[in-house]
Amino acid sequence: MTTDPFRYLFNLEQFGIKFGLDNISAIVEALHAPHHSFRAVHIAGTNGKGSVSAMTESMLRAAGYRTGRFTSPHLVDLTERFAVNGHAVTETDLKIAVSEVIDVVESLVQQGRLEAHPTFFEVTTATAFVLFRRQHVEVAVCEVGLGGRLDSTNVLSPMATAITSIGFDHQQYLGSTLTAIAAEKAGIIKPGVPVVVGIVPPEAAAVIDRVAAERGAPVVRAHDGVAVDALSAGHRAPQRVRLRTPQADYGAIDVALSGQHQISNAVVATRLVETVDHQGLTVDGHAVRQGLGSVSWPGRLQTIAVGRHRTALLDAAHNPDGARTLADYLDDEGPRPLVFAAMKDKDAGGMLEALAGHVSAVVLTRASHPRSNEPAALAEVARLTLGDIPIVIEQEPAAALDAAWRFGPDIVVAGSIFLLGDVMKALVPS
């Protein structure tokens, strides 16, 4: 094809979000089922699914398997979504795979075999499958994009699934109650395939149990029978714990990600690889320790030093539950100036309310994404939730960083993954 594949791909964003498996099913069928060329682990959840995906892939790779990892969205570069053996694929390999998918999509459109034009996420999902087939991946860890039941990734036939958490986010797509949201995420549960479940509210757990029972899928409650003893103080990485599950005593383990919530995520990921081990892929204690100790997942309580006297703590909190987790971390750190942006469809008030008392000033800005809310609108919300602290508006993220540093040398950036991408571009040389 002569069209630039990346330009074609990003032009698909105009089609927005569309739920349903008809398009992706037709596309992967025309591509000769690339998603059947590797074994898969499928992970859903309101929060934590990215971290659990990264941890799970790291442990599987440490066990000696050639791994793939498909996650979304990316922070800085599209290639981040597609990792093979722990490294983002090359731009050349990605363009070749995207071109292969686009050729098939255009053919299906011309034949009238698609109900609607595919979305950006449908094409990137198919691209991940093609890449993993081309790269001879043995096992791929695939993160759900949104929800689960009708998400494009749900054409997979996984060896194990996981639901990391259930909370409020994307209510306009998933429903306004925890039971409705849980039903959408439980849609990834497959007949006879075990599902590992993190800490979820009782009403969500009841929905997951019901769906699993209907499909004959064993439920592994990740934290049942697990003992975690802290061996290091504080939430900064590496965090050292002693971990014992019903399957094994792993002894002292270093978790290479910051925040107490990452210990909980590590438990979910460990129980998930134990489940995979029972399905025929051997993952021993050494792989668990090595994988958790070396995992990298940028933008999650990540501190970037800027010069000799400034730091920025970047966190991907983009809903109230994520903001509460960030607030817990800041309990140990003390209040900081906050750089904040949020998408129009996000609960900015809930996030800022969770951070009240943990931030000393707030600089509101706009992420470079069409759905980003206007700083002036966010300022109205901030004045209602943050009390008597300075509130500043800066239209550009780089200017917002400078404004925040005028309040103190150590700042925090949160509210939108897209904002984190803008900040990383500004702070980290390419």
pLDDT digits (tens, 9 = 90+) for 245-275: 999 999 999 999 999 999 999 999 999 999 9
Residues 38 and 172 in one domain: yes
In this predicted structure, what is the pLDDT of residue 1? 47
In this predicted structure, what is the pLDDT of residue 20? 86
The CATH number of whichever domain residue 393 belongs to comes to 3.90.190.20
How far is C-alpha 195 from the geometric centre of its chain's CA atoms? 18
Residues 357 and 270 in one domain: no
144 within a domain of the structure (yes/no): yes
Q: Which one of 215, 244, 277 terminates a domain?
A: 277
- What's the predicted TM-score (pTM) here? 0.95
Q: What is the mean pLDDT of residues 178-187?
A: 96
Q: What is the mean pLDDT of residues 13-39?
A: 90
Residues 266 and 356 in one domain: no
In this predicted structure, what is the pLDDT of residue 387? 87
| Helix 320-333, helix 348-355: angle, nearest 10 | 20
Tell me: pLDDT of 216 over 80. yes
In this predicted structure, what is the pLDDT of residue 339? 98
Torsion sign (Cα): 104, 105, 111, 113: positive
pLDDT, the chain, mean: 94
Residues 205 and 343 in one domain: no
Which residues contact residue 277 at a Cβ distance below 8 angstroms, ignoring those fewer than 6 apart?
A: 283
- What is the rounded end-to-end Cα distance, in angstroms, of the chain? 29
241 within a domain of the structure (yes/no): no
Band (115; pLDDT cuts 50, 70, 90): confident
Q: What angle do CA 273, 70, 30 make, to 5 degrees?
A: 115
Band (173; pLDDT cuts 50, 70, 90): low
Domain tally, the chain: 2
pLDDT digits (tens, 9 = 90+) for 69-104: 999 999 999 999 999 999 999 999 999 999 999 999
Which residue segment(s) compose the domain that 399 sits in?
302-427
48 within a domain of the structure (yes/no): yes
Whether 101 contacts 29, CB under 8 Å = no
Residues 46 and 87 in one domain: yes
Q: What is the mean pLDDT of residues 122-142?
A: 98
Residues 191 and 326 in one domain: no
Q: What is the mean pLDDT of residues 279-284?
A: 94
243 within a domain of the structure (yes/no): no
Q: What is the mean pLDDT of residues 34-39?
A: 98
Tell me: pLDDT of 171 over 80. no
250 within a domain of the structure (yes/no): no
More confident residue, 117 or 48: 48
pLDDT digits (tens, 9 = 90+) for 349-396: 999 999 999 999 999 999 998 899 999 999 999 999 998 999 999 999
The CATH number of whichever domain residue 191 belongs to comes to 3.40.1190.10
Tell me: pLDDT of 296 over 50. yes
In this predicted structure, what is the pLDDT of residue 430? 55
Q: What is the mean pLDDT of residues 332-359?
A: 95
Residues 210 and 79 in one domain: yes
Residues 59 and 122 in one domain: yes
Residues 396 and 272 in one domain: no
Q: What is the mean pLDDT of residues 201-212?
A: 98
pLDDT digits (tens, 9 = 90+) for 410-420: 999 999 999 99
In this predicted structure, what is the pLDDT of residue 428? 75
Tell me: pLDDT of 429 over 70. no
Residues 20 and 95 in one domain: yes
In this predicted structure, what is the pLDDT of residue 185? 97
Residues 183 and 95 in one domain: yes
pLDDT digits (tens, 9 = 90+) for 223-246: 999 999 999 988 888 999 999 999
42 within a domain of the structure (yes/no): yes
Residues 42 and 164 in one domain: yes
Provide the percentage of residues in the chain whose pLDDT is more than 70: 97
294 within a domain of the structure (yes/no): no
246 within a domain of the structure (yes/no): no
